[in-house]
Structure 1
Amino acid sequence: MAQTTVKPTAAPTQDRSPKPFYTRLGFQIVVGLIAGLVLGFAAVAIGPVSEGEPNWLTSVLTQVGSAYVSLLTVLVIPLVVTAVISSVARLAQVTNAARLAVQTLVWFAITALASVVVGITAGLVSSPWLTAGVSGDAAAEPSGQGQWTAFLTGLVPSNIFGLSVRVSGDAETGFTASPSFSILQILLISIALGIAALKVGEKAAPFVTFAESALAVVQKVLWWIIRLAPIGTAALIGRAVVNYGWSSLASLGVFVATLYVALLVVWLVVYPLILKLHGLSVRQFYRNVWPVISLGFVTRSSMGVMPVTEQVTERNLGVPRQYASFAVPLGATTKMDGCAAVFPALAAIFIAQFYGVQLNLTHYLLIAFVAVIGSAATAGTTGATVMLTLTLSTLGLPLAGVGLLLAVEPIVDMGRTALNVTGQALVPTIVAKREGILDREVYDAEPSFSLEAH
């Protein structure tokens, strides 16, 4: 009797047909950008209701834009806490954790040094025209100043949540309380809890399981918020057009143009060169990180989009979560090539030239030193103004020069933030590749973290 052979039934193939172009993040954000410009110019055309009172369209754009940034920021704390605790508790899965941390800091410094060299070069090349037509009327001392000891004073948490409240106002006008948090303190607390869970062992298993479950829930909520990105983009761009327009570019146009050229050189030359030297596709990298680049540009908040940066780094670039959950939050406080390297270098040259101060080789070396070390020294408070005041005080330049650039701050901040978040995703990718823990299949595949429905 002949034996009957039964062939296994093939598993049904998954429908991999491309999604319609209008469901993709890039297209939706471009539409939001165009809509924001249209709404912004429409709000300008309507004009204010009265002196100091915006019209209804301006109010809507302002409220929607602020609400979207707040939604992104509110997930920073739960994402960092749950991701770091669960990752540290599973450190046995990651070899050479200390070596990873050291390499991360080294590559933070390398990319910051390259970026500050670009900023200095851009300032020297454009120096004949950099301050043309700039008036000293806007010169003003900054409200705060960067300090070299900020890292030490901001490292120790004042409470278990790393939260603080800033109260402003007086008895006549009323008091306003503004809550804030230090990501560096939250990172420190989370690492401590994760290490404690690792040491406790089996008894801490429910705690670790809860952290992992909470992380999955936070990631799902994050996706819902990111899905609103086109609306947030339209509101934020519209508000920028209304509040700042382009009139301030009249006297500072050369500075703004020079800064954007320098940012593009880092973005299109320095970063691609580093990727190529490590055998990684430049096109695929930017395709993978586009969601966070576009959001960083419109929100102007590295911290606000930090949850997106972490998701992109892990799910699109193939960096292990155990490492990404440490490197990305650290980068959000200490890795800002736009705000802490390119901008302070160019701005220092601009201010020195305006006040007639001749810079020499020692000054340029100090600018580079502040860019590489200063962002780490001021971790937790790092920002463009903090780094600029730290640079100016180190060089002995007038701090009143900060006021000269405030008119174009929102315009240049969009480009700076886009570069910041790109670098914050780049370094973990490079370190993971060097250590042999980068998942190349994930890196080279279709990005899994996007605004397409899943």
Structure 2
Amino acid sequence: MSSTPSAPAGPAPTSRVRSLLGSFGFQIVAALVLGVALGWAALAIGPVDAGTDAESPNWLTTTLDTIGSSFVTLLRAIVPPLIFAAIVASVANLRNVANGARLAWRTLLWFAITALVSVVIGITLGLVLRPGEHTSLSVADGAEPGRTGSWLDFLDGLIPGNVLGLGASTSLAEDGTASTSVSFNVLQIIVVAIVVGIAVLRTGDKAEPFLAFVRSALVVIQKVLWWVIRLAPLGTLGLVGNAVASYGWDSLASLGRFAIAIYIGLALVLFVVYPVILRTNGLAVGRWFRGAWPAIQLAFVSRSSIGTLPVTQRVTERNLGVPSEYASFAVPLAATTKMDGCASIYPAVSAIFVAQIFGIDLSVLDYVLIAFVSVVGSAATAGLTGAIVMLTLTLSTVGLPLAGVGLLLAIDPILDMGRTAVNVAGQVLVPTVVAKREGILDEDQYARAEASDLFEDTPAPVSA
């Protein structure tokens, strides 16, 4: 007697649970929830009396801050060697990619297009919601920032001070103690790497040993990077917990309509404008979000485009099929000059908010200037950190009081999470769209885009 073969059994429930618990997406979501819970617990404990008029954070807030800041520091530490090695190798590999100059110009063009659309949305929301007329703040609450943006910052940031793109700053504490910190300027590292890459091309065969070393170093750096990225859930817990414990949501009371306007604008860009651009270029929206999501969610919790840069480049190449020769050039450039959240939505709404607070009527020319600064001004502040620099550049260009910046500082960390997420989303979007339009996108790889692909243990291959 013949028996009917039974259907193959599906995966065991324990296997499905183990797979879910091991997925990066689940770990990040769990870390977010736990971080919020620990943040509220730290907020409930309250600050510790330091014995003077000052108060210090409690042990839980300090622990969360240490965990989160350590993770971002590790990410930022790997950025300089990653950018240098990736760009040198990519410039050398451009000899294998047709129309390298055309790719660069198309990338800059799409930077400008998406920035223009974003700033128009920001201006529209500012005029419709009129956040400056629905707040308890007044002119007396304003204060000028310590750092402002300038059009000369572009030249200052473009010319490397040294071959490593490093800079040092000295700060003076209240007790008179001076401390010196070293930082890196990503734009300067990009310039140095491009020059070295061009020199490798011009040198020819004699540069092959150096190029082989750079490619080998890039593989090693990617391996180290992956060890750091696996700590992302722990970093997320610390970053989110510290944000809740340090800022809470009390500051939203006086700036509620302003915060709503910002987040509506960010949502429109991320969930309407970007999907329209993707569909117009024949790209599946859902697959793009699945591929890009690890970088977007890390940007949201870390509030650092530069800290997220290694993940941004990884998902662009590995998840979405953008050639590494192009992505390793376009993504680091985007991380310094492509900021739809910080340089378009936020300055537009903020400038209108400040104008309304101070009772200043903006003309059509003022709105044109706001759009102009948003499209090209991010290049002027490239290499400088913080949306406040871009905001001060916008206010000074339009002629609005810089004291208006002080009105927004209390809520800035809460807004910065959404701004950075949109920044990074745009930094993934543009290379993907340009690669598709130029016919160099690996569409089979794009069709398989999954967030889990990001955590394959093998580093992305380096083209010969």
- What is the aligned partner in structure 1 of residue 423 from structure 2? 420
- In 2, are the aligned partners of 1:32 and 1:234 still within 8 Å (CA)? yes
Following superposition of structure 1 onto structure 2, how do residues 270-419 of structure 1 map, counting pairs within 5 Å? Answer: 270-381=273-384, 383-419=386-422
- In 1, are the aligned partners of 2:149 and 2:389 still within 8 Å (CA)? yes
Following superposition of structure 1 onto structure 2, how do residues 76-91 of structure 1 map, counting pairs within 5 Å? Answer: 76-91=79-94
Whether 2:117 is the aligned partner of 1:114: answer: yes
- What is the aligned partner in structure 2 of residue 30 from structure 1? 29
- In 1, are the aligned partners of 2:343 and 2:378 still within 8 Å (CA)? yes
Q: What percentage of residue pairs aligned between the two structures are identical?
A: 57
Aligned partners of 1:24, 1:427: CA distance in 2, in Å?
Answer: 27
Shift of the 142–131 alpha-carbon distance from structure 1 to 2, 3 Å rule, reads farther
Q: Secondary structure at the match of 1:279?
A: coil
Aligned partners of 2:357, 2:174: CA distance in 1, in Å?
Answer: 41
- In 2, are the aligned partners of 1:334 and 1:382 still within 8 Å (CA)? no
Aligned partners of 1:399, 1:332: CA distance in 2, in Å?
Answer: 26
Aligned partners of 1:187, 1:263: CA distance in 2, in Å?
Answer: 28
Q: Deviations over 1:342-374 (max 9, x none)?
A: 000000010001111111211111110110011
Aligned partners of 1:23, 1:453: CA distance in 2, in Å?
Answer: 14
Whether 2:226 is the aligned partner of 1:223: answer: yes
Q: Deviations over 1:84-132 (max 9, x none)?
A: 1111112211110110110011000000000001111111110177533
CA shift, 1:382, in A, is 5.7
Whether 2:108 is the aligned partner of 1:105: answer: yes
CA RMSD in angstroms comes to 1.7
Aligned partners of 2:303, 2:449: CA distance in 1, in Å?
Answer: 27
Question: Which 5+ residue runs of structure 2 have no aligned equivalent?
Answer: 1-10, 459-464
Aligned partners of 1:449, 1:213: CA distance in 2, in Å?
Answer: 23
Shift of the 302–54 alpha-carbon distance from structure 1 to 2, 3 Å rule, reads same
Q: Secondary structure at the match of 1:188?
A: helix
- In 1, are the aligned partners of 2:319 and 2:454 still within 8 Å (CA)? no
Amino acid at match of 1:181: F
CA shift, 1:136, in A, is 3.5
Aligned partners of 2:270, 2:297: CA distance in 1, in Å?
Answer: 13
Amino acid at match of 2:190: L
CA shift, 1:286, in A, is 0.6
- In 2, are the aligned partners of 1:131 and 1:350 still within 8 Å (CA)? no
Q: Secondary structure at the match of 2:454?
A: coil
Whether 2:173 is the aligned partner of 1:174: answer: no
Shift of the 382–98 alpha-carbon distance from structure 1 to 2, 3 Å rule, reads farther
Q: Secondary structure at the match of 2:171?
A: strand
Aligned partners of 2:442, 2:44: CA distance in 1, in Å?
Answer: 51
Out of 42-51 and 310-319, give the one that drifted further: 42-51
- In 2, are the aligned partners of 1:130 and 1:255 still within 8 Å (CA)? no
Aligned partners of 1:130, 1:153: CA distance in 2, in Å?
Answer: 38
Amino acid at match of 1:26: G
Aligned partners of 1:148, 1:131: CA distance in 2, in Å?
Answer: 32
Whether 2:165 is the aligned partner of 1:157: answer: no
Provide the TM-score with structure 2 as the length reference.
Answer: 0.91
Whether 2:48 is the aligned partner of 1:44: answer: no
Shift of the 171–227 alpha-carbon distance from structure 1 to 2, 3 Å rule, reads closer
Whether 2:58 is the aligned partner of 1:55: answer: yes
Q: Deviations over 1:315-345 (max 9, x none)?
A: 1111111111111111111100000000000
Aligned partners of 2:149, 2:223: CA distance in 1, in Å?
Answer: 37
- What is the aligned partner in structure 1 of residue 454 from structure 2? 450
Q: Secondary structure at the match of 1:409?
A: helix
Aligned partners of 1:125, 1:315: CA distance in 2, in Å?
Answer: 41
Aligned partners of 1:194, 1:358: CA distance in 2, in Å?
Answer: 50
Provide the TM-score with structure 1 as the length reference.
Answer: 0.93
- In 2, are the aligned partners of 1:166 and 1:177 still within 8 Å (CA)? yes
CA shift, 1:138, in A, is 2.8
- What is the aligned partner in structure 1 of residue 261 from structure 2? 258
Following superposition of structure 1 onto structure 2, how do residues 193-272 of structure 1 map, counting pairs within 5 Å? Answer: 193-272=196-275
Out of 129-138 and 86-95, give the one that drifted further: 129-138
Aligned partners of 1:181, 1:406: CA distance in 2, in Å?
Answer: 25
Whether 2:205 is the aligned partner of 1:187: answer: no
CA shift, 1:449, in A, is 3.9
Aligned partners of 1:112, 1:48: CA distance in 2, in Å?
Answer: 41
- What is the aligned partner in structure 1 of residue 151 from structure 2? 148
Aligned partners of 1:128, 1:146: CA distance in 2, in Å?
Answer: 24
Amino acid at match of 1:23: G
Question: Which 5+ residue runs of structure 1 have no aligned equivalent?
Answer: 1-14
Amino acid at match of 1:293: I
Amino acid at match of 1:224: W
Amino acid at match of 1:439: D
Residue-pair matches, total:
439
CA shift, 1:137, in A, is 4.0
Aligned partners of 1:380, 1:234: CA distance in 2, in Å?
Answer: 28
